[in-house]
Structure 1
Amino acid sequence: MTNQTEQDRLRSLEERINKAKAEAPTENHMKKDYSQAQHAWRMVTELVAGLLIGFVIGFGLDYALGTSPIFLVIFIFFGFAAGMKTVIGSAKELQMKMLDQQSGKNGEK
């Protein structure tokens, strides 16, 4: 008799789970938000990488040539400029993808 009540409870639970799954929204907005976060982190990483590369090159030149931190400052600015150029390129790429998706959706209607 105990097995029968447990089986009834399990069937009832399974029915409630299936009902909840059917009522759940089908759109997966978390994946979309996660994708946007990935793009943001990619841009931040590109900018920081440009700065770090400029820092390392400038520091290396100053150390090798025995100069004051003039090359460090110059190459940090170059690294920042290179990082910004890469970030702008990534933003344009993302914008083109979004426009293609929107035009594809509008073209289907």
Structure 2
Amino acid sequence: MFLTKSVTEAQMSSIDTNRSGFFPNSKTAADRANQANKASLKRNDPYRAQQLKDTTSNDAKVDINDAVRDFSMIKKAVDAAPEVDNSDKIAKLKAQIQAGTYQVDYDALADKMLAAEF
């Protein structure tokens, strides 16, 4: 009897979802779901799909200005360059400055300043 009752309840629940309402022309839940799926498929017809594609492709473009590109190329070049160890040269210059024996080459300084300007 217990088995019969559970089978009957299972049959009743499937019957409830498949039967139409009180009115003979009313739609079942399955019919309404199918109709909703068809309506959502129709919503994006080919013309609308092309409009959406064009809009998103235009909005998805990213323009990187030349300064950023130049910076990127410079950074790559610096990263690829070998590391230079100037610690010995710096130590010698510091010692000369502290001892008061450092001599400035004014001609070389002027040449470098002019080269930097022009």
Into which bin does the TM-score normalised by the smaller protein fall? Answer: 0.3 to 0.5
Whichever structure has more helix as a proportion of its residues is 1
Higher relative contact order, chain-length normalized (CA < 8 Å, sep 6+): 1
Q: TM-score, normalization: structure 1?
A: 0.39
> Which is higher, the Rg of structure 1 or of structure 2?
2
